[in-house]
Amino acid sequence: MSSSKRSLPMLLPRPPTQSAGEGDLARTTTELPRKRQAVTTACNNCKKRKSKCDSCRPRCGPCLRRDLQCEFVERQDPNAHENEKRLISTYQTVFELIRQGNHEESIQALQRIRDADNVDEAANSIEGAQLLLQMPSSSYVSTLEKRAPRERLSFENLRPRKRQLRSPHEDSSFMFEKQYMTDPRDKYVDSEIFVDLSTRDLPLSRWTTVSQDDRQMNHLLTMFFTWDNIVERAFYRPIFEEDTITMDPQLPDDHPRNFCSRFLINALLAVSCLYTLDPVFFKEPQDSSTRGRRWADEAETLLEKIDKPSIPLLQGLYSLFVYEGVIGNGTKSVNYFLRSMNVYKDLNDVWTVQPRQGADDARLEREKQAISWCLWGFYCCEWRSSQAFGFRKLVRKPKIKRVWLEDNFTLSKPDCVGYWWFPYPISYQIQTSLQVEVRTVDVALSEIVEEALDFVYPEEGKLPP
């Protein structure tokens, strides 16, 4: 029985006692290795071998042991850091505006943030509206509701982020810019199909000193009337083209009953440049934010000499408001907007419908149609800007009747330039523009919006209607 038992070896004697330092060293050698830190970027060799990379630079551990060349290719969004800085700046600006604003505005801003589907969009809208509210000129304060005085941050400290035209085709080789000097009929229209378009080559070089190239400027203007859906609402194209051809450019820009002026042409060409990235329209080479700036500068110079209300003044001011709001820095945009409100109120008087001397009946009828179309169009487009600023609707319905509902209205006739629409310069495939039908619906919507904004932004000291 004892022979079947396994014999165990004798225990070795206890080792001599170690010093404290040696004991610590012994313990450190038996500690478990630290957990490998996760890395966000592996080198190309480790990616191919699907091995763990320690992301050490300039050569990682595995490549160093194998004596291989180590390369890292990082995938980063080039705009991620800039977008993050812009977002933080926006949040800081909104926080300061809420903190320094009065109680009512702070509550309203917080309510907007809570009700918004996207917090970033709500913050950007509050920032833009509050910044613009700081800059109205003293001569236009009558347009705004009276507010309690309060301390505000300077515009320089709260400068809004730079805006630019966003498009999936932000490239000068986009179809808008491809050989526009070539007649589109040669490229897009079958040679056996006759296309009769009642468009005109306008002598725009008579109205501006910026350029003498009528074809380039007509290209800009055609793109404006094709794609714009803001300023274009306040334009009656038939009489605008008529006066551009027949009127004397040397007449005063505020001449009554004229529907074209040097100020308007320059402002219109400036806002038309929002639809192009052709470097020929840049004031500063390689800087797309300066496109159209030469026309805008000339329009600003001409504006200093105008002191009487007119339809071209109203249209030009709103054109500059949109232009500066899109690619400007915002300092001029709000002043153009507020002054256009005052011009509209002056035009919306009895004199706009009173007959004048020295004009035939046909011209008077065209003028009546143009005034009605322009004022009602401005009534429809104004609230989109006022609502973005957080204002009540600043203009009320025109006193002139809705002439476009009459049977003999020019835009309802197939021989009128505004009756048709085609996606210039992509194609000349014509379709009806439905401008009259759209205007009827647009007016109905604007009337509803006017009631809604009066409820959301009631007059100071009064309950909502």
Cis peptide bond N-terminal to 13, omega within 30: no
DSSP state of 159: P
Q: For residues 55 and 46, is the Cβ–Cβ distance under 8 A?
A: no
Q: How many other C-beta atoms are found inside a 10 Å radius of the C-beta of residue 220?
A: 24
Local confidence band at 130 (pLDDT 50, 70, 90 cut-offs): low
Q: For residues 231 and 322, is the Cβ–Cβ distance under 8 A?
A: yes
Local confidence band at 127 (pLDDT 50, 70, 90 cut-offs): low
Q: Looking at residues 292-300, what average pLDDT do you find?
A: 94
385-440: pLDDT as tens digits: 887 777 777 888 898 989 999 988 999 998 888 888 888 877 777 888 999 999 99
* Model pLDDT, residue 344: 92
140-155: pLDDT as tens digits: 334 433 444 444 444 3
Q: For residues 439 and 380, is the Cβ–Cβ distance under 8 A?
A: yes
Local confidence band at 2 (pLDDT 50, 70, 90 cut-offs): low
- Maximum mean pLDDT: which of 4-8, 112-116, 170-174, 319-323: 319-323
Token digits for 45? 């060799």
Whole-angstrom Cα distance, residue 368 to residue 373?
9
Is a pLDDT exceeding 90 seen at residue 53?
no
Q: How many other C-beta atoms are found inside a 10 Å radius of the C-beta of residue 355?
A: 9
Whole-prediction pTM value?
0.59
Beta bridge pairs of residue 282: 291
* Model pLDDT, residue 152: 43
Local confidence band at 457 (pLDDT 50, 70, 90 cut-offs): confident
Whole-angstrom Cα distance, residue 60 to residue 296?
57
Q: Looking at residues 294-306, what average pLDDT do you find?
A: 93
The residue length of the chain stands at 465
Is a pLDDT exceeding 50 seen at residue 206?
yes
The pair phi, psi for residue 421, each rounded to 5°, is -145, 140
Whole-angstrom Cα distance, residue 324 to residue 344?
20
Instruction: Name the amino acid, one letter, at 103.
Output: H
Please give the mean pLDDT across all residues of the chain: 76
Is a pLDDT exceeding 70 seen at residue 441?
yes
Question: 291: helix, coil or strand?
Answer: strand
Whole-angstrom Cα distance, residue 109 to residue 127?
10
Tokens 């080039």 belong to 78
Q: For residues 441 and 223, is the Cβ–Cβ distance under 8 A?
A: no
Is a pLDDT exceeding 60 seen at residue 324?
yes
